[in-house]
Structure 1
Amino acid sequence: MRSRSLAAVVLIAGALVLAGCDALPSDTPSPTASESSPGPTPSGSSTVAPSPTAEAGFTLPDSCDALYSPAMLEELNSTNPPLNDPGITIYATENVAALEILTSGVPTLRCSWGAAGSPGLVTNVSIVSSDQSSTLLDAFTSSGMACETLGAGTVCRIEQQTIDRNDNIVTIGEAHYLQGDGWVATHWVGFSPDGYTEDIVATLWP
């Protein structure tokens, strides 16, 4: 529902803490959709920092449109536009270890769906080293995420319902996919299309 406040939900979620998921340190406020934060890569663009594993096989898409199948892209555009609203500045994860890697300068394409103050999601597609990939998988499993095989990689998820300041029940969660030197991270608040991560995996790793 558009009346739900994405910023409000993220602030409340930061206070309640995702079950089984690392919380941000108490002196580090959880970013919201309506406030700027230095970590995320500008929407729809990739970092220019070179990756030592760039030759390992995974290549960042040229644009956010290239993340999805035509059917999923049509669904996203019709159900929760716009793509890359500049007011959406939340991170693609709230897991502390994953956030450190995400904000370390790894090559990343950042994409978001939804308007500031509304339900939406953020996805980062990044290139990581083998050590970073192992660190991520350890962080996800140790924080209580449910992990399973998907394609030739591993997908880990966590989801929880919380209540926003208007007493609405809202679902928040994360999904992470690791394959080779590729990492797809998605954080959502009140908007999680069926088969979203699976569609990205099938598109980027056909």
Structure 2
Amino acid sequence: MAMDDTLSVAEVATLLNVTRKHVLRLITDGKLPAITGTDGTRAVDRADAEAYGLQARKRARKALEELARVSQEAGLYKPRTADDFERSARRWRRRKVQRGEFLSAQAFCRQRGVSPAELRRLGRRGDVFGVEIAHRRYYPAVLASVSGVQLSRLDRLCRRLRPLPAWLRWDTLTAPRGSLGDRSVMQSLSRGARYRRARWFVGVTVADHKGN
């Protein structure tokens, strides 16, 4: 790796329009290859950073399109243009944080009773997932709202939902469904018959997504 082709953490943050902390998390999670110098500083190949940025933009666009579809199906919003929708979506996401429906990593760890290291492990397994809001990662509060058997069931469903974009996973878990008796998946964790129906619904949702 030629030094002229490498970027510092700060330069990568500027390139990706994120915080330095976010870049370091990407490196720690293995999502962005990096080398560590003798002085402990991190460097990232420019091509790797640009490739990650391109894929991140594609994922963001896909997530916005999915969120638009879900919102329109629910009758929540009918955007006039893509830019119009993006502005509305940003405001909508910020309101979700303000209302406590999405938590910072620190708040989520406190509510679920796990350490930051355990949160990363749960994320790698697929038991929890986060979303990007205003260049920061937040976690759905519902993933820290149950315990015991319900939590074990929720973890299994979250792992099955891994192929879906994060926002669609959240919608799958929280939106009431006619096929679930006008309950959400989250409201179907306590009773065996309802949980089996919720598990079926999750499987169908994932299969439909893969087929599109």
TM-score past 0.5 threshold: no
**Which of the pair is proportionally richer in helix?**
2
What TM-score, normalized to structure 1?
0.30
Report the structure number with the largest CA radius of gyration: 2
What TM-score, normalized to structure 2?
0.29
